[in-house]
A = this chain, B = another copy of it.
Amino acid sequence: MINIQEIDADRLEMAASMLKAIAHPMRIAILKHLEGGKKLTVTEIHELLGIEQSTTSHHLGILKDKGVLCARREGKNTYYYLKHDILSQIVDCLQRCTCE
């Protein structure tokens, strides 16, 4: 027996956990670099952002876990990319809201 409120609560949880995944300066920076369907490896991102390899991997893992990114392994590299292109909207929206 499932009721509407439970479904709604689950949706809210899911949305929140997705947003929480994005809500970090480095992870927003990662999304910016992946806009437009770009695919980057862990090493590329860790060099672009100037943060530790393991920290980078942690962040990417979180984003993948929460359904923000997808990962595809190709040989020694793992390419990460946006799961939903529309997620760029969120970054754009933030960009507009933080102009003042």
Contact = CB atoms under 8 A, between A and B. Distances in A.
Interface of A: 9, 11-16, 18-20, 22-29, 67, 83-84, 86-87, 89-91, 93-98
Contacts of A23: 16, 19-20, 22-23
A7 to B, nearest CB: 11
The interface centre, meaning the residue of A12, A27, A67, A83 with most chain B CB atoms within 10 A of its CB, is A12
Given A96-B86, A97-B67, A97-B86, A24 B16 contact: yes
Chain copies in the assembly? Answer: 2
Contacts of A13: 25
Nearest to A16: B25
A69 to B, nearest CB: 12
4 pairs of A and B residues whose beta carbons are closest in the complex = A19-B23, A12-B25, A20-B23, A15-B94
